[in-house]
Amino acid sequence: MSIYRTHNCNELRKEDVGKKVFLSGWINKKRDHGNLLFIDLRDNYGITQCIIDRENSNFSTLEKMQLETVIKVDGEVVDRSEETVNKDIKTGEIEVLIKSFDVLGKCKELPMPIFSDQEYSEEIRLKYRFLDLRRKKIHENIILRSKVISFIRNEMNKLGFLEYQTPILTSSSPEGARDFLVPSRLNPGKFYALPQAPQQFKQLIMVSGFDKYFQIAPCFRDEDARADRSPGEFYQLDLEMSFVEQEDVFNVVEKLLVNTFKNFSKKKLVKEKFPRIPYKESMLKYGTDKPDLRNPLIINDITDVFLRDDIKFDIFKNLVKSGCKVRCIITKDTKNKPRSFFDGIDKWAKEQGTSGMAYFTFDKDKEVFGKGPVGKFFSKEAIEELMVKTGANIGDSIFFACNKEKDLEVITALARNKIAQDLDLIDENIFAFCWVIDYPMFEKDKETKKIKFSHNPFSMPQGDLDKLDFGKPLDILAYQYDIVCNGIELSSGAIRNHIPDLMYKLFSVAGYNKNQVDQKFSGMINALNYGAPPHGGIAPGLDRIVMLLANEKNIREVTMFPMNQNAQDLMMNAPSDIGEDQLKELGISLKLKK
RNA sequence: GGGGGUGUAGCUCAGUUGGUUAGAGCGAUCGCCUGUCACGCGAUAGGUCGAGGGUUCGAGUCCCUUCACUCCCGCCA
């Protein structure tokens, strides 16, 4: 038996009345009645009310104890009268009559209260993270995270995957995010990089013949933070399989995610077979490659209609002639919405730095007409064509904007969210998953205008490999796929290119010659020459999965010891200065910008 | 690198048009209280109003600079 406790703080029940017990934990709350003192004793498992009165010689010292002091209570379990039962806690039918107590850990005056639903500044929470983590909500989030991880490990094992570790100190790679670098003492002037993902290693594991790999893998990227993106480090459920096609990966991952989400959340999954949306279609219908399918609104391209002569909306017509497109969103049955709703959307769109959203409502007297400020520019026939094209009915409204395709995608995607919010169309109690598939292999860099890999340079191109047209690289699609849930990108993956010659060709399109490829990806390109199996995989972001399950908007709420937005650990004081001697040993001198 | 928000007691916040000695709740300290579970009641202490500069008879409040935190854009194969 432990010298500290016979039971934890969530264990004692009516049946235990009369038992002599030890409990240890934190003083969560005191209620001092002068001659009678209630103490809520808290540990990881729950809360037990302990009680002592003035008759006991320990009363006055216990009365003075700071909250959050760790004590051991020696007492007896006693029954509570019916009126004093607390139904909110599992131990609420009993209490522990304190005989004596010991202080196990003293506590200074607290910089932040533990027992409170208040919000606190991020700064103080992160500096005193060990206190913050005692609070109920985040304590439960972290436990949830642990349970999700162990559930996933178990599921992966059941699916025949084995977990392997890959190096943390590895080489810098030219594609992708900024690397975190680690100087090498034994190789002065040279640097390791922390892996942005175990991408090459997991492919090497396949070449090594292990068939099915997974890992709860730490990934390091030196990029700026967001609410759903930790600076520095995050975790992926990294997985890879040999002798598979896209479909095989989909089957495994759908099974895993459906089981996980069903097991840990009460929210309903809209579809257990995730819909598949080609990248191009997603950009058109949702304006983004991470569509929130809880939102029923869909974007339509109506550029053609603006070629008609009986539309007098000259601003848009002229833009269309110069190559712009027109896209719209139809809202169902919004005829009677107040003017403020429509103008609100337009005003909001202008605030987003666009030319705004035009709108009218499909209405009918003797014949159909457009009701609203710009309705008069559209003939009866033009309106009828719009209704056919968009599936709109009398009483529905149309919001539309005109711009170059890329800008138009951005604004219509934002408008789709905004309108859905205003009309309260998004069901918060569901998970809507989808696959986004058929990503283009390459894209044009906005600034340099050069061709670059749009996602993963190791992806396998689609189609007949002998007939790929490298003269039109932007038309080449890849076996590259993302999983999106409620508008959040959960993971991306691909069937990999395991054919060295093809790899060289694709890299040459992106501006790397054979030597550069050999040098930068030596381990992998070399391995592919010695009998590589066809393989593919994916890497769902673990932190984001837990965020969705815990219903949190910020990744720090599901991370035990996160850094702040400037990638500083306020509790441990990282990063920190280092001594001259350490620098000298590494052959490094600092030239800091002022 | 750029844009927005916030910064007042240990914590969470209020503070009017620029106007007397900057307030409240929680926490702390002291006192009272034997059935609370956000216990109750009374008192006390606690402030560089993020920092610096300016305007003004007078600045928590207006202006400029700067710092910190946060959200977003860029970035994140």
d(CA A362, CA A386): 10
Q: Where residue A144 falls among pLDDT bands split at 50, 70, 90?
A: very high
- Pairwise CA distance, residues A184 & A182, whole Å: 6
Is A521 or A564 the better-scoring residue by pLDDT?
A564
Nucleotide nearest to A489 (CA to C1'): B76
Mean pLDDT over residues A93-106, rounded? 96
Q: Give the three-state DSSP class for A232.
A: strand
Would you say residue A23 has pLDDT above 80? yes
- Of the candidates A512, A492, A491, the residue with the CA atom closest to the CA atom of residue A503: A512
For residue A353, what pLDDT is reported? 64
pTM of the predicted structure, to 2 decimals: 0.94
User: What's the rounded mean pLDDT across residues A523-551?
Assistant: 95
pLDDT digits (tens, 9 = 90+) for A370-409: 999 899 999 999 999 999 999 999 999 999 999 888 888 9
Closest nucleotide to the alpha carbon of A67, via C1': B27
pLDDT at A520: 85
pLDDT at res. A593: 64
Report the range of poorest mean pLDDT among A82-86, A337-341, A447-451, A470-474: A447-451
- Using the C1' atom of nucleotide B69, identify the protein residue whose alpha carbon is closest: A123
A368-371 and A212-221 strand pairing: unpaired
Residue range A262-308, pLDDT digits in tens:
999 999 999 999 999 999 999 999 999 999 999 999 999 999 999 99
The answer to whether the beta carbons of residues A409 and A285 sit under 8 Å apart is no
Three-state SS for A181?
strand
In a 10 Å sphere around its CB, with 0-12 CB exposed, 13-18 middle and 19+ buried, how is residue A281 labelled? middle
ipTM entry:
0.92
CA distance A37 to A22: 18
Contact indicator for A386, A327 with CB cutoff of 8 Å: no
Straight-line distance from CA A60 to C1' B41, in Å? 20
Question: Predicted confidence band at A255 (pLDDT cuts at 50, 70, 90)?
Answer: very high
Alpha helix positions (H), A37-105:
59-63
Rounded distance in angstroms from the CA atom of residue A592 to the C1' atom of nucleotide B57? 48
By C1' distance from the Cα of A55, the closest nucleotide is: B34
CB-count exposure of residue A186 (10 Å: 0-12, 13-18, 19+): exposed
Sign of CA dihedral A12, A18, A24, A29: positive
A594 CA to B54 C1' distance (Å) = 27
Q: Can you give the three-state secondary structure of A247-284, one letter per residue?
A: HHHHHHHHHHHHHHHHHHCCCEECCCCCCEEEHHHHHH
The nt closest to A29 (CA vs C1′) is B37
- pLDDT, tens digit (0-9, with 9 covering 90-100), for A166-178: 999 999 877 789 9
A174, A155 Cβ separation under 8 angstroms: no
Q: How far apart are CA A481 and CA A434, in angstroms?
A: 10
Whole-number distance in Å between A349 CA and B35 C1': 60
> What pLDDT, on the 0 to 100 scale, is given for residue A456?
87
The answer on pLDDT for A116 being more than 90 is no
Q: Which nucleotides along chain B are within 7 A of a protein C-beta?
A: 1, 10-13, 26-30, 32-40, 68-77
Q: State the amino acid at position A31 in one-letter form.
A: R
Mean pLDDT across the stretch A520-536? 93
In the block, residue with structure tokens 């009398």: A394
User: CA at A111, C1' at B47: how many angstroms apart?
Assistant: 17
Token output for A504: 């060289």
Whole-number distance in Å between A594 CA and B65 C1': 17
The nucleotide closest to A65 (CA, C1' atoms): B28
Rg of chain A, C-alpha, whole Å: 31
Confidence of residue A594 (pLDDT cuts 50, 70, 90): low
Q: What is the reported pLDDT for A581?
A: 94
CA distances from A563 to A106, A218, A576 (A): 28, 15, 13
pLDDT at A540: 97
pLDDT at A285 (0 to 100): 95
pLDDT at A212 over 60: yes
Nearest amino-acid residue to B72, taking CA and C1':
A226
